[in-house]
Amino acid sequence: MTHNVTGLKYFCKTAQLDWLKYYKGSGKYWKRHLAKHGKDISVEVIGIYEDENECRKVALEFSQKNDVAKSDSWANLILENGIDGAPIGEGHPMYGKPSPCIGHKRPQVGKKGKDNPMYGKPSPMRGIAKPKGKDSPLFGRARPEGGGKRPNPVIRIDNEGGEVYFDSVAAAAKSLNVSRSCIHTVCTGRNKTGAGYKWKYAEIKE
Closest CA to 201 of 188, 177, 174, 179: 188
State the pLDDT at residue 84.
64
Mean of pLDDT values over 79-101: 65
State the pLDDT at residue 25.
84
Listed range (24-28, 106-110, 148-152, 193-197) with the worst mean pLDDT? 106-110
Listed range (62-66, 89-93, 156-160) with the worst mean pLDDT? 89-93
> 49 and 63 in contact (C-beta within 8 Å)?
no
- The class that CATH gives domain 133-201 is mainly alpha
State the pLDDT at residue 90.
64
Transcribe 41-96 into DSSP letters. Answer: EE-------S-HHHHHHHHHHHHHHHTTTT-TTB--SS---SS--PPSGGGSTTTT
What is the number of other CB atoms lying within 10 angstroms of the CB of residue 173? 20
pLDDT beyond 70 at 107: no
Mean of pLDDT values over 81-96: 64
Q: Where in the chain is the domain with CATH 1.10.10.10?
A: 133-201
> 105 and 111 in contact (C-beta within 8 Å)?
no
Percentage of the chain beyond pLDDT 90 is 22
Angle at 112 between CA 34 and CA 126, to 5 degrees: 45
